[in-house]
């Protein structure tokens, strides 16, 4: 079954004034849509991959379980599709961004000393990512929260390619197309503004799911 562009869980204008309406419309309707189209084209060449969900497909990147003919296309476009699915869901209207709480807040304070310290380290990772990429808060397989960044459309599911593999809890897109219409070259300003639209309830759910013991 082909992958599809998901509907956003809010309107294109919902993240104003921190993420502008035009950026959201282009980002979702053009950039994300292109990743979906391109990964579908790649996977269609190998029917044995047709039943894989996008998360499982990403987990195959960098392994022998992905045909070499489409490895780069899947890494770039399958990564782009999964990353953006995650990104849309980790944001919400500013009025709904309630701040960290629950199990995630406790885990962040245990790992970093405070939520503010975690944010500072996350901001530094996002600002320091050269060129295009992402910043992540990840729960590693050992149960440790770590901050990392990845180039292009790589993500922590691609265990053999990244420094800190694991389950993403927070993720920030720092490609220029995510912020340039409003913030131009002021990436740190965009990073700081982004915290106003973080969906902390969803982040807590991602954390709890990742921390749940596997059978």
* Alpha carbons 165 and 158: distance in angstroms, whole number: 7
H/E stretch holding 30: none
Q: Which of 76, 70, 93, 94 is nearest to 31 (CA)?
A: 76
Sequence-separated (6 or more) residues with CB below 8 Å from residue 116: none
Cβ atoms within 10 Å of 71's Cβ, excluding its own: 16
Please name the residue that has the structure tokens 């970093």.
112
Q: How many CA atoms lie within 13 A of 15 on its CB side?
A: 29
* Alpha carbons 90 and 92: distance in angstroms, whole number: 7
| 28 annotated to a ligand binding site | no
H/E stretch holding 169: strand 167-173
* Alpha carbons 156 and 170: distance in angstroms, whole number: 11
| 32 annotated to a ligand binding site | no
| 65 annotated to a ligand binding site | no
Q: Cβ(162)–Cβ(156) under 8 Å? A: yes
* Alpha carbons 199 and 89: distance in angstroms, whole number: 7
| 84 annotated to a ligand binding site | yes
Please name the residue that has the structure tokens 């975690």.
118
Binding site members: 27, 84, 173, 177
Binding site members for Mn(2+): 27, 84, 173, 177
């Amino acid at each position: 079954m082909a992958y599809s562009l998901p509907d956003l869980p809010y309107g294109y204008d919902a993240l104003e004034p921190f993420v502008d309406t035009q950026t959201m419309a282009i980002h979702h309707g053009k950039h994300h849509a292109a990743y979906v189209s391109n990964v579908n084209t790649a996977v269609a060449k190998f029917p044995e991959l047709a039943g894989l969900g996008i998360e499982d497909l990403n987990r195959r990147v960098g392994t022998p379980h992905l045909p070499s003919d489409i490895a780069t296309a899947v890494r770039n476009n399958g990564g782009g599709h999964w990353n953006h699915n995650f990104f849309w869901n980790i944001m919400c209207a500013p009025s709904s961004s309630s701040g960290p709480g629950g199990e995630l807040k406790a885990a962040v304070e245990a790992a970093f000393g405070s939520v503010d310290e975690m944010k500072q380290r996350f901001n530094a990772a996002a600002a320091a990512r050269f060129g295009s990429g992402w910043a992540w808060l990840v729960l590693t397989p050992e149960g440790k929260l770590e901050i990392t960044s990845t180039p292009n459309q790589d993500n922590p599911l691609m265990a053999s390619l990244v420094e800190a593999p694991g389950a993403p809890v927070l993720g920030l897109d720092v490609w220029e197309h995510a912020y340039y219409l409003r913030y131009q070259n002021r990436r740190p300003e965009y990073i700081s503004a982004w915290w106003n639209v973080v969906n902390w309830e969803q982040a807590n759910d991602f954390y709890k799911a990742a921390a749940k013991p596997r059978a």
